[in-house]
Amino acid sequence: MLAGIISLVIGIQYSFATPSLEISTSKHVYEYGDLLSINFQVSEITSHSITIHITDSSNKTSAPINLPIDKLNSTITSPFPFYKTTFSPGTYRIDAVYSNTTASTSFDLIDSGKIAIPAEFKSLVKTLQLGSPTDKSYAGIIRELINDGIISVPSYSQTDQIHIPQWFKKNVQWWSDDSISDNDFGMSIEYLIQKGIIQV
């Protein structure tokens, strides 16, 4: 009888126990072009999702992100890399809630000089190449990369004299097909403009 009561009490305590939650990121320091990867460890699976908020160094917080989990150890990777156009360098904090349990971690995003070009630019190039793109259309894309701070050309000033070498257009196609990395492609644009080979 006593053993039965003890088992019942332990069972009741266990049923009301709050599951534990631990979170960590795959790296402590990220740079532009990296994908954020977050690992979650829980002590038990419940019917709840993990809800996270990401707060930047200016205390701006994201909308809640609900992540369903079905394993005690789960890794979620962002489908989009860090881009200069959407993320500022600094320290970011991730706050997570799971079945009334909270956990936090943080990471740093740095501007190491690595170039990461948002995917919409590739989509634009692919669309242009379905037709007959002009030097002016290529120049418009390059100007936007400069004006958005994605590539850096010191002392750049827009010119009416547009010149895009024919061989460079082939490089644009290779880049849009992922045969050339964002960083290599961006650095080549910086160099060619500085040397006056490309004029935009």
Note the pLDDT of residue 16.
Answer: 53
Mark the ranges of the chain whose per-residue pLDDT is less than 70: 1-17
Please indicate, yes or no, if residue 11 is contained in any of the structural domains.
no
12: amino acid identity, one letter: I
Q: Please check whether residue 150 is in contact with residue 118, taking contact to mean a CB–CB distance below 8 angstroms.
A: yes
Exposure on the CB side of residue 150, measured as CA atoms within 13 A? 25
Which pair of structure tokens corresponds to residue 24? 């960590």
- The alpha-helical segments, DSSP class H, found in 101-149 are 119-128, 135-147
Note the pLDDT of residue 96.
Answer: 97
Please indicate, yes or no, if residue 169 is contained in any of the structural domains.
yes
Note the pLDDT of residue 183.
Answer: 96
Please count the residues of the chain: 200
Instruction: Examine the fold and report which residue of 110, 130, 155 is the final residue of a domain before the chain moves on.
Output: 110
Shortest CA distance to 76 belongs to which of 56, 46, 50, 101?
Answer: 50
Domains: count for the chain: 2
Task: Assess whether 103 and 25 both reside in one domain.
Answer: yes
The pTM assigned to this predicted structure is 0.83
CATH number at residue 80: 2.60.40.1930
Q: Which helix (H) or strand (E) holds 5?
A: helix 2-15
Q: What is the pLDDT of residues 16-55, one digit of tens each?
A: 568 999 999 999 999 999 999 999 999 999 889 999 999 9
Distances (CA, A) of 164 to 19, 52, 146: 60, 46, 16
Note the pLDDT of residue 17.
Answer: 67
CA 122 to chain centre: 16
Residue 169: domain span:
119-194
Task: Assess whether 24 and 106 both reside in one domain.
Answer: yes
Specify the DSSP class assigned to residue 48: P
Cα separation of 175 and 177, whole Å?
A: 5
> Would you tell me how many other CB atoms lie within 10 Å of the CB of residue 106?
14
Shortest CA distance to 145 belongs to which of 174, 180, 188?
Answer: 188
Task: Assess whether 31 and 99 both reside in one domain.
Answer: yes
